[in-house]
Amino acid sequence: MTIVSFGTKKRKSAMENLLIYMIKVNGSLILFYLCYKLLFQRDTFWMIRRIYLLVSVLFSFIYPLISVEGWIKKQEPVMTAIASIQLDEFIITPEGIASSGLFTLENVLWGVFGLIVISMLLRICVQLISIFKRRLKGYKTELQGIPVIRMDEKITPFSFFKWIFINPLLHTHSETAEILAHEQTHARQWHSVDVFIGQIQTILCWFNPAAWLMEREIRHNLEFLADNQVLKSGFEPKNYQYHLLKLTYEPADSKLINQFNVSPIKKRIKMMNSKKTKKTGLLKYALIVPVALTLVWLSSFQQILAGLKNDTGNTARISLAEASVKDVNPVQTPSAAVATAQQTDKDKKIFEVVETPPEFPGGIDALMKFMAENIKYPAEAVKNKIEGKVILKFVVDDTGKVTDIEVARSVAPMLDAEAIRVVGLMPRWEPGKQKGIPVNVRFALPVAFKLSPSANKAVLEQLEVVGYGKPETKKEGVVVNAMSVAAPDKDGVYDQVDILPAFQGGQEALFGWLSQNIRYPADAQKQGIQGKVLVQYVVDTDGSIKNAKILRGVNELLDKEALRVINTMPNWTPGKHKDKVVKVRYTLPIQFRLQ
């Protein structure tokens, strides 16, 4: 049976998106709590504070889902749309799908998070069961004209939604009246909803101190509201306060209820005796509007940057990982395309990057399913233990038809033919568009044929390298990315090796180093000169850079700067072929682009 495995990117992307979402939520909770402590904690607008606290919690969970990306893009005078035309890798194996490992650090951390959330939810369920048991044990009656659940056991009075639980035998007539006035306020104003919201946010954000502090402030503010209503009903303040002090010894029964003696008593008494805040103090609550709008804008801006990273960032990492691609013109390879949307193949008018990329009918999931249902691992290849990664190039024309299928990197004729056959069966895509007009767009599709699950693991791990990541850019407008071209050399320089040479620290370190050291020539900026310089060099057996030369120049100023930077690069870790250190040829496109 042939198994097609879609790379780990999608699963990883979902986890990354969840992590980013949680960071945004918890950051917002911290910000709103600090605003509450600094601006609103000491006033007596308890109902406004209730709204603020509730909206703060709900907004924190909702705003990361709000996007004004489209509006932001429309405000930009020039918005260069860049689309990544590198499809995710499909892994075909006759045996099964490889696993990247269950007990990774990321999985363990998410597992701990989930276990704590589940345990806290179970605790809430236990508390709910306890409340319902008391409801069944007590009986509904009227006390001083108010419906209550009368209990015969010793309990501290409390309310849960519309239910008020009390044992009237434990209190005097006047104390019972105060308790009922207090708890009826909780029931009438649905304070249990606030308590539930506070509990849920502490469960989901249990690691965030601000979540617990917000939940505490929600509870305290509800008690201020109920205490204020008691005093408004005509009860004598001092007697009511003494009554509260009498009950302070009683422990809290549940986190879900509104309990009459909820702490801190001292703070409640202080609030009862505090002077009412002037109405002009309401103006400070308007300050929260720009704070909320800023959070929404920053969230959308992050989404735009993330989109650009996914859309434009695959160039360098694809290039470094795909050092063994044969017979590919590096200038026309999609993985080398970091440019404006107007960069095209002049003869066929094929776009490498467009504003709206083509889409397989039903999206990437449908494409994965199509590949899984149609591709077969050739039996002869399995028998002869032939495996490897076939890279195809094809064009989705302006009608959505897949054309010009060719092998960018060959493994074996039977594997190449199978990959071409399946791509040729593809239905029409939704064509890509540039400035609203359907255009021809070139794609690259890696198809990895693997014979063993253990080998699959290495391929899956490479998905971090093959296809994603954003090169650094300099303020002068230089965009740096890297690729390699494989072509045998009679002088002992390899274009295809088992272990690729590596810049010390990896690709990110390479981008960072280039970003720090490359300079956009001032004269070239003044003359408006820009373009892509292709530099070829050899990573020698000692890791040093040798024989740097210009494959394709733009202008003497840019060519000279590109060569200067390449020749000053520190030593790499040399490449290996068949366990032997060898020389490896690389081609580095350096694009000088004026902002």
Domain spans, the chain: 3-75+104-295, 472-595
Single out the residue of 453, 388, 460 nearest to residue 419, CA to CA.
388
| Per-residue model confidence (pLDDT) at position 141 | 87
Q: How many CA atoms lie within 13 A of 4 on its CB side?
A: 21
How many C-beta atoms lie closer than 10 Å to residue 95's C-beta? Answer: 15
Q: How many residues does the chain have?
A: 595
| Per-residue model confidence (pLDDT) at position 211 | 92
Residue 37 DSSP class: I
Any bridge partners for residue 442, and if so which?
395
Count of helix runs (H) and strand runs (E) in the chain: 18, 19
User: Residue 270 has which token pair?
Assistant: 């202080």
255-270 core/surface letters (b: 16 or more CB in 10 A; e: else)? bbbbbbbbeeeeebbe
Q: How far is CA 61 from the centre of its chain?
A: 14
d(CA 167, CA 178): 14
| Per-residue model confidence (pLDDT) at position 246 | 67
| Per-residue model confidence (pLDDT) at position 349 | 80
- CA distances to 130, 241, 399, 416 from 244, rounded to whole Å, are 25, 5, 77, 82
Coil vs helix vs strand at 351 = strand
d(CA 305, CA 76): 14
- CA distances to 32, 143, 226, 236, 395 from 232, rounded to whole Å, are 30, 20, 10, 10, 76
For the CA atoms of 114, 115, 121, 125, what is the dihedral angle to 10 degrees? Answer: 150
Question: What parts of the chain have a pLDDT lower than 70?
Answer: 1-13, 68-103, 245-264, 301-348, 452-490, 595
User: Residue 8 has which token pair?
Assistant: 């780990």
d(CA 33, CA 67): 24
- CA distances to 177, 296, 384, 544 from 375, rounded to whole Å, are 78, 44, 19, 43
d(CA 511, CA 565): 12
**Site of tokens 């708890």:** 183
Coil vs helix vs strand at 165 = strand
Determine phi and psi for 434, rounding to 5 degrees: -125, 115
Contact predicate 541/522, CB 8 Å:
no
Contact predicate 144/128, CB 8 Å:
no
| Per-residue model confidence (pLDDT) at position 564 | 92
| Per-residue model confidence (pLDDT) at position 545 | 92
Coil vs helix vs strand at 279 = helix
| Per-residue model confidence (pLDDT) at position 401 | 92
pLDDT tens profile 117-126: 999 999 999 9
User: Residue 62 has which token pair?
Assistant: 């909702």
| Per-residue model confidence (pLDDT) at position 570 | 92
Q: Does domain 472-595 have CATH number 3.30.2420.10?
A: yes
Helices (H), 507-581: 507-517, 522-526, 556-567
Q: How far is CA 2 from the centre of its chain?
A: 32
| Per-residue model confidence (pLDDT) at position 456 | 37
Strand extents, DSSP E, 293-417: 344-345, 350-351, 388-396, 402-409
